[in-house]
Amino acid sequence: MTVTIKDIARKVGVSPSTVSRALNGNTRISDTTTRKIQEAMEELDYHPNSLARNFANGLTYCIGLIIDARDENTFANAFFNRSVFAIEKVIQEYGYSLMITNDRKKEGKSTVENLMLEKKVDGLIMPSSIVRPELIMELNQAGFPFIVMGEPKKYKTDATWIDVDNELGSHMAVEHLIQSGYSKIALVTEKANTVFTQKRLAGYLACLKKHNIQINQDLILQYGQDITADNKRIEELMSGNSHPDAFLCGNNIIAFNVLKTLKNINYRIPDDIGIVTFDNYPVAEYTDPPLTAVDVDTYGMGIQVAKQLLRKIQDNSKDTNHMYIPTNIIVRESSMKGDRKNNDKNGGAS
């Protein structure tokens, strides 16, 4: 049989409510009975039944983390994962558990809606990619706490969101390239219609303008589905008159392909052409030469997300706000024009 507070109460000779109070510590209980109760719990190996506790409280002590089913790579994305790690750590400290769910549709209602409606979680964290207007409205109307990871395209003021400061990151990268002696800088983005691409473009343009460098639309490219064709376009670009002397790439895979293409047509990196990539994963460190990367403290981002959500839950606050996580730049060989390379020694990173 499972041991309940009644068993403890009977053994100690008090009422169940006293045991309950001793457990939660809200009310004052005499030291002696408290001690007796604790001893009895030890002896009978009592463990609170969270099923009953949650039911009585109407709380789940669970946070739902939604992942985007459409993005096969979400789970393989180290960026995302470090955040998850941080989120779990924080909420666990506050007595919450982390529930991870894919956003699937199920008989009309989506998984996310059911998480709220069926009281399976007390709060939600979700990627901006799944944010739909109806969902936001529904959550807000119910006063249900949630945080969006990534700046949403619309409804920016109807949700609290946290995102990487992509504009800053892009600005830093361009600044670094200019300081390193490059001037004709190309920007190679992923899909153009995302918020983060737009922000990166903005940072790129702003930094060029700051340095009075003329914008050349031919240097603003996009990598799409057909990698081979995209690489071909880089080749063609390089054969033109005003070809770039540096590339800022939207992610590691783009950067790797640009690097490979340039090497194939006998450009030397970084002496002829500089390369900087967004994100430090998965290959930035392992290409030849290693890639300078715009990095983000994704762990810190997770911490922020979790804390914001817990605050919302505990304060029952309905305000919305947003926050940008600053970027930093990890300088590696791919952008060190003219620097002496250390090919044989690469230890000693602090």
Partner DNA sequence: TTGTACGCGTTATCAT
Partner DNA sequence: ATGATAACGCGTACAA
Judged by the rule CB under 7 A, the positions of this chain that interact with DNA are 2, 4-6, 13-18, 20-21, 23-24, 26-30, 32-34, 48-49, 51-53, 55-58
Nearest distance, CB of residue 76 and a second copy, angstroms: 4
Q: Is 39 in the site for a second copy (CB under 8 A)?
A: no
Among 256, 273, 292, 303, binds a second copy (CB under 8 A): 256
Nearest to DNA of 58, 347 (CB atom):
58
Told to check if 81 binds a second copy by CB under 8 A, we report yes
> Residue 27: which of DNA, a second copy, none does it interact with, CB under 5 to 8 A by kind?
DNA
d(CA 136, CA 210): 38
Q: Is 330 in the site for a second copy (CB under 8 A)?
A: no
Give the C-alpha distances (Å, rounded to integers) separating 64 from 120, 200, 340. 8, 30, 50
Whichever of 17 and 157 has its CB closer to DNA, that residue is 17
DSSP class per residue in 267-300: --TTTT-EEEEES--SSGGGSSSPPEEEEE-HHH
CA-based nearest residue to 133, from 116, 149, 119, 153? 153
When the beta carbons of 113 and 230 are compared against DNA, the nearer one is: 113
3-state secondary structure 187-227: EEECCCCCHHHHHHHHHHHHHHHHCCCCCCHHHEEECCCCH
**Per residue, what are the HEC states of 222-259?**
ECCCCHHHHHHHHHHHHHCCCCCCEEEECCHHHHHHHH
Give whichever of 178 and 305 is closer to a second copy, judged by the CB atom.
305
| H-helix or E-strand spanning residue 53 | helix 50-57
Binding partner of residue 346 among a second copy, DNA, none, CB cut-off 5 to 8 Å per kind: a second copy
20 makes contact with a second copy (CB under 8 A): no
Rounded distance between C-alpha atoms, residue 115 and residue 1, angstroms: 32
Among residues 30 and 97, whose Cβ is nearest to a second copy? 97
Among DNA, a second copy, none, partner that 300 touches (CB below 5 to 8 angstroms by kind): none
Q: For a second copy, which is the closer residue by CB, 114 or 320?
A: 114
Nearer to a second copy, 99 or 238 (CB): 99
CA angle, corner 299, sides to 81 and 285, nearest 5? 75
Instruction: Give dist(CA 115, CA 117) in Å, integer.
Output: 6
Of 277-296, binders to a second copy (CB under 8 A) are: 281-283, 286-288
DSSP 130: G
**Whether 3 contacts 40, CB under 8 Å:** no
Least CB distance to DNA at residue 120 (A): 13
Q: What's the rounded Cα separation, in Å, for the pair 13 and 8?
A: 8
State yes or no: residue 332 binds a second copy (CB under 8 A).
no
Applying CB under 8 A, does 16 fall inside the site for a second copy? no
- Is residue 120 a contact residue for a second copy (CB under 8 A)? yes
Q: Indicate which single residue of 11, 88, 151, 310 sits in contact with a second copy (rule: CB under 8 A).
A: 88
Binding site for a second copy (CB under 8 A): 47-52, 54-55, 58, 60, 62, 75-76, 78, 81-82, 84-85, 88-89, 92, 97-102, 104, 111, 114, 117-120, 227-228, 253, 256, 260, 264, 281-283, 286-288, 343-347
